[in-house]
Copies of this chain bind each other. A is one copy, B any other.
Amino acid sequence: MNSWGKRADMLVHEEAPFNAEPTSAALAASYLTPTDTFYSRNHGPIPTLDPATWRLEVDGLVDRSLRLSLQELQDRFEEHEVTATVQCAGNRRAGLIAVRNIPGEDPWRDGATSTAVWAGVRLADVLAAAGVTQGDAAADEVHVAFQAPDVSELARPSQAYGGSIPLTKATRPEVLLAWSMNGEALRPVHGAPLRVVVPGWIGARSVKWLERVVVRRGPSENYFQSVAYRLLPPDADPDAAGPGDGLSLGPIALNSAILSPADDSTVSAGTVLVDGYAFAGDGRQVARVDVSSDAGETWVQADLGRDRGPWAWRLWHAEVHLAAGDAVLVARAWDGTAAAQPSEAAQLWNPKGYVNNACPRARVHAVHR
């Protein structure tokens, strides 16, 4: 019996709160990540809410407060679908921990990211029903905050999970309040009955078990917005960090991973297939992925798989030719601005271990067999 309906081979970082990622092989197996394979990142106990009594409140700087049942949401607003990759800001933290230890944070590998088809209503439509439109956003000053009931003992002080995004993003058509994932009703572990999906932004803003939407001036003061999920300078003491320190994370930075072959694995000399993903985040597109089998001296271009728009990853594969011996595979993605990933994780190290988007590497041992 596995936790929360997840497959047996998940890498479980913690049982409580439940934090688990799929293996690279499981992630590479399909463009859409099956729900039993989708990563799960939590900060407190997973609540099981009764859809019959659950309501969504919408208030704050609105013309009309709303209180809606799931049925009312579904009846009153048009349903929309978005294929979106969700990615934790801590994805690939293991690569930063290899540079220098990061106490108290899970060593996520490449699997704190997954892709699904989400269905629900546009947050913009619900906000419009409350009398809030994009025209109300003076630059990024107005935020839309999300409140959930899962209380985290990791916060200082303990508090229910929350966060916010600027109204300029909240009113974009890709931002959903979703009740469905991959064609099925959302499961408790993924936020049933209703969750936010903020495509192109860090997973922390895609708040699960949504109960309340508050339109407000400035970002949420929730711990997970004001203290956590912020990029601190390398010499900062994370235990001493207070509200507003460091850079608030939001849009996702260009990233990629090598899913196969695994780091430190043995392969047959000759033609070797290299597989991975790349994701530009923030509505940008992955324009090219290069793969090197000589530690970055020379490169071949990978073939990019299915393109389902700017909110979802691209899977890629490339063939390289390895003589017998040791080799270092490297991948690098480019986005539509011709920006490439930083090459070295050491240059990105930060005290909470966020945003490791360094070019992924895999050492392989090629043998004749």
Spell out A's residues near B (CB within 8 Å): 231, 233-235, 247, 249-254, 281-282, 287-288, 290, 296, 298-299, 301, 332, 334, 336-344, 346-348, 354-355, 357, 359
Contact = CB atoms under 8 A, between A and B. Distances in A.
Contact of A299 (B235, B250, B332): B235
Given A249-B338, A338-B355, A340-B348, 16 more contacts: A231-B334, A235-B298, A235-B299, A247-B287, A247-B334, A247-B336, A247-B338, A250-B337, A253-B337, A282-B337, A339-B355, A340-B347, A341-B342, A342-B342, A343-B347, A347-B359
A285 to B, nearest CB: 10
14 contacts: A233-B299, A247-B334, A249-B338, A250-B336, A251-B337, A253-B338, A253-B339, A281-B337, A296-B347, A337-B355, A340-B347, A341-B342, A342-B343, A347-B359
Contacts of A348: 340
A219 to B, nearest CB: 13
Given A340-B348, A348-B340, A355-B339, A301 B334 contact: no
A309 to B, nearest CB: 9
Contacts of A288: 233, 247
Contacts of A290: 233
A347 B334 contact: no
Contacts of A253: 337-339
Contacts of A338: 231, 247, 249, 253, 354-355
A311 to B, nearest CB: 13
Nearest to A287: B247
A234 B287 contact: no
A51 to B, nearest CB: 35
Nearest to A355: B338
Contacts of A357: 339
A355 B336 CA distance: 12
Contacts of A235: 298-299
Contacts of A346: 296
A91 to B, nearest CB: 13
Contact of A233 (B250, B301, B343): B301
B254 A339 contact: yes
Contacts of A299: 233-235
Nearest to A340: B342
B347 A252 contact: no
Nearest to A290: B233
A92 to B, nearest CB: 13
A122 to B, nearest CB: 18
Contacts of A354: 338
Nearest to A330: B347
Most-contacted residue by chain B among A281, A336, A354, A357 (CB, 10 A): A336
A239 to B, nearest CB: 20
A97 B281 CA distance: 31
Nearest to A253: B339
Contacts of A281: 337
Contacts of A282: 337
A15 B253 CA distance: 41
Nearest to A251: B337
A340 B231 CA distance: 11
Contacts of A355: 337-339
Contacts of A334: 231, 247
